[in-house]
Amino acid sequence: MGIWADSKGGGGNGGKNPWSFVTRRKRVDSAVESNSHGQLAKELTVPHLMAIGVGATIGAGVYVLVGTVAREHSGPALPLSFLVAGFAAALSALCYAELASRCPSAGSAYHYSYICVGEGVAWLIGWALILEYTIGGAAVARGITPNLAALIGGMENLPSFLSWHSIPGTNIVVDPCSAIVVFIVTGLLCAGIRESTVVQSVVTTVNIFALIFVIIGGGYLGFKSGWVGYQLPTGYFPFGVDGMLAGSATVFFAYIGFDAVASTAEEVKNPQRDLPLGIGASLFLCCGLYMLVSIVIVGLVPYYAINADTPISSAFADNGMQWAAYVINAGAFTALCASLLGAILPQPRILMAMARDGLLPPFFSDINSHSQVPVKSTIVTGLVAALLAFLMEVSELAGMVSVGTLLAFTVVAISVLILRYIPPNEIPLAPSVMEPFVSASTGYSWSRLEANEDTKAHAGTSHTTIPPTVKEDVPNDPLIAKDTIIAKYVHEGNRRKLIGWAIAVTCLGVFILTFAASNNTIISSIRFALCGVGGTLLLSGFVFLNFMDQDDARHNFGHSGGFICPFVPLLPIACILINSYLLINLGAATWARVSIWLAIGIVVYVFYGRSHSTLKEAVYVPATQVADT
């Protein structure tokens, strides 16, 4: 077989499909190979990654969230809500762990989707993550001022240059304190990954100790008072199991943050081992703290009497420990600072990864030779976040943060399915490096052609059989199917195409099912019919994938020897289902705002990213051909 090459560049060198640029995929180690702008410092180990993950995940929301969810949804079953939500988040974490281990590069979900799905989806994920981290960082910074004021006794005790000020003639309330904190965090991140991670570790440790104080002190008060919150006539599930599950959907967003660990992949000393451990340990620790805090709070005070605004400090005050509010406020303040560090840290690395691939200007890919971090991207990220925090009340835009995260979680799960069943078998090469492969392959092809001619000549005069040089398709190929019925219709020629369609059908079924199940405005008969159609498509895709063997090429794809996600295809499909349900339930107003941002992103990609992509002129060669040559 001679060399097979196909240009998937958007307008060039033989590309027949004008939309082929959307599906072009990059190599796993493309970031390492394109080191013209410098390399990030490899400084991080598991404790550093845990500090980043826990700090980014446990924000000040836990100090408020337990009261709101307990009063409105879960009641005393709040710990179970956190447990179910933690289990759902663990599905995404396991998918992230495998991809981070196989493809350790900055860019997180953007990088994985570019390798497994294609450039178009990767651009949308990267663009959505830019929105997520920008709005998320500004929202966290905006919450620092009231928490700092609570820590020192009220807003009136804040210095004038840190207090809120209204601009005359407008409804704008500026927040200088939040902007100053963002500038401090930005400068810290520019100093180096080790320096910023040390500070992150200290701040996160203070927050964890505050939560441990809540657990131990609250446990003491609970045993002293008799746990009155659990002695209610309404029982453990006053809102039913449905209420507990609704509470899980709300507290799920308290687990968002472990993806920040994956964005530091290039700065980890041993990514194959440390990244999965860092992601898993961070999530496990956060889930344990959430559950223990919620057990204490709903036990100290009946759920209907919990203060929705200050549930933890009020619960302690009701039991005679008013002074505990200072410890709790200190924990909330440090939680916000750690969360701000975790929100700003990934953004420059995603900008850097996209600029490396040519989708953004090369300005963003520069790495400072001294600190070995993308200083220019970090400064731009800090300036935008500080400006938003200074001028805008971004709490109404907070829902937009969840869209980027949930889209990333969904695409990461899809990428795991692709990697296991139909891993990319083509490698993009620049035209300048194609000649040696063409020469080697051409010689190989001519030698095979001559051998075939000799075989034909001997076949006419002798009964001697010459062993074939190429293995023909074997009906019992273990990659085809576990079931002989499916094996009748699936062969090596159509296997990849059929599995690709099965994954697409599964995702379509998930969308139809979650949309119909979440939309109460649809006529009930149509709604049930759509649920049936979606469920049938979902189940059909799952059954087909379950009966198909995973591709052996997955063992050699990327960096082998790391973490392997269990229960494939069940776990990724469950992850897609949960995240799609949460995405659809974010509300029309949130989706309207996000759609505007995504539309802007499409325009930027069409007029800049598509034509500046490093894969524009790439020629795709079978991976086996490159390995043999």
* 359-408 pLDDT tens trace: 999 999 999 999 999 999 999 999 999 999 998 876 666 677 889 999 99
Token pair listed for 4: 């097979």
Q: What is the mean pLDDT of residues 71-86?
A: 94
Percent of residues, the chain, with pLDDT higher than 90 = 60
The CA–CA distances, whole Å, from 429 to 20, 556, 559, 619 equal 16, 19, 19, 5
pLDDT attached to residue 101: 92
Is there a contact between 377 and 364 (Cβ–Cβ < 8 Å)?
A: yes
The CA–CA distances, whole Å, from 421 to 276, 424, 471 equal 22, 10, 22
Tell me the pLDDT band of 446, cut-offs 50, 70 and 90. Answer: very low
**What are the backbone dihedrals phi and psi of residue 204, each rounded to the nearest 5 degrees, phi first?**
-65, -35
* 611-621 pLDDT tens trace: 999 998 888 88
Q: Is the pLDDT of residue 515 over 50?
A: yes
Torsion of the alpha carbons at 440, 442, 445 and 447, rounded to the nearest 10: -70
Q: What is the mean pLDDT of residues 163-183?
A: 88
Q: Is the pLDDT of residue 477 over 70?
A: no
pLDDT attached to residue 393: 75
Which residues does 300 contact at the CB level (< 8 Å), separation at least 6?
218, 221, 222, 225, 227, 228, 229, 315, 316, 318, 319
pLDDT attached to residue 382: 96
Q: Is the pLDDT of residue 92 over 70?
A: yes
Is there a contact between 305 and 67 (Cβ–Cβ < 8 Å)?
A: no
Q: Is the pLDDT of residue 346 over 90?
A: yes
SS3 of residue 622 by DSSP: strand
Q: Is the pLDDT of residue 289 over 60?
A: yes
Angstrom distance (rounded) from CA 311 to CA 297: 8
Token pair listed for 518: 């979440």
Tell me the pLDDT band of 573, cut-offs 50, 70 and 90. Answer: very high
pLDDT attached to residue 31: 57
Q: Domain limits of the chain?
A: 40-423, 477-548
**What are the backbone dihedrals phi and psi of residue 268, each rounded to the nearest 5 degrees, phi first?**
-95, 135
Pure H helices in 309-464 = 311-318, 324-344, 346-356, 375-391, 398-421, 434-461
Token pair listed for 310: 């200050």
pLDDT attached to residue 155: 82
Q: Which helix (H) or strand (E) holds 289?
A: helix 271-300
Q: Is the pLDDT of residue 4 over 60?
A: no
Q: Which has the minimum average pLDDT: 13-17, 304-308, 566-570, 605-609?
A: 13-17
pLDDT attached to residue 342: 93
pLDDT attached to residue 227: 94
* 530-546 pLDDT tens trace: 999 999 999 999 999 99
For 525, counting Cβ atoms within 10 Å of its Cβ (0-12 exposed, 13-18 middle, 19+ buried), the class is: exposed
Q: Is the pLDDT of residue 445 over 70?
A: no
Q: What is the mean pLDDT of residues 151-170?
A: 84
pLDDT attached to residue 522: 87
* 478-509 pLDDT tens trace: 555 555 566 677 877 889 999 999 999 999 99
Tell me the pLDDT band of 220, cut-offs 50, 70 and 90. Answer: very high
Angstrom distance (rounded) from CA 118 to CA 575: 20
Tell me the pLDDT band of 520, cut-offs 50, 70 and 90. Answer: confident
3-state SS string for 450-495 = HHHHHHHHHHHHCCCCCCCCCCCCCCCCCCCCCCHHHHCCCCCCCH
pLDDT attached to residue 480: 54
SS3 of residue 103 by DSSP: coil
Angstrom distance (rounded) from CA 175 to CA 616: 44
Q: What is the mean pLDDT of residues 282-308?
A: 94
Residue for token pair 């008072």: 225
Amino acid at 517: A
Q: Is the pLDDT of residue 280 over 80?
A: yes
SS3 of residue 44 by DSSP: strand
Any long-range contacts for 270-275 (C-beta under 8 Å, 24+ apart)?
270/45, 271/100, 271/101, 271/104, 271/559, 271/562, 272/101, 272/104, 272/559, 272/561, 272/562, 272/563, 273/562, 274/44, 274/45, 274/46, 274/49, 275/49, 275/97, 275/100, 275/101, 275/104, 275/562, 275/563
Q: Which residue has the higher pLDDT, 173 or 481?
A: 173
Is there a contact between 274 and 268 (Cβ–Cβ < 8 Å)?
A: yes
Residue 60 CB neighbour total at 10 angstroms = 23
Q: Is the pLDDT of residue 341 over 70?
A: yes
pLDDT attached to residue 252: 92
pLDDT attached to residue 14: 40
Percent of residues, the chain, with pLDDT higher than 70 = 85
| Mean confidence (pLDDT) of the chain | 85
The CA–CA distances, whole Å, from 328 to 43, 248, 269 equal 33, 24, 35
Q: Which has the minimum average pLDDT: 161-175, 225-239, 576-590?
A: 161-175
CATH number for region 40-423: 1.20.1740.10
Tell me the pLDDT band of 453, cut-offs 50, 70 and 90. Answer: very low
Is there a contact between 372 and 192 (Cβ–Cβ < 8 Å)?
A: yes
Q: Which has the minimum average pLDDT: 119-123, 370-374, 424-428, 488-492?
A: 488-492
pLDDT attached to residue 270: 93
Tell me the pLDDT band of 171, cut-offs 50, 70 and 90. Answer: confident
Q: Give the neighbor-by-neighbor strand order of the sheet with 426-429.
A: 6-7, 619-622, 426-429
Task: Name which of 462, 486, 334, 443 is nearest 1 in CA terms.
Answer: 443
Task: Name which of 185, 484, 104 is nearest 348 in CA terms.
Answer: 185
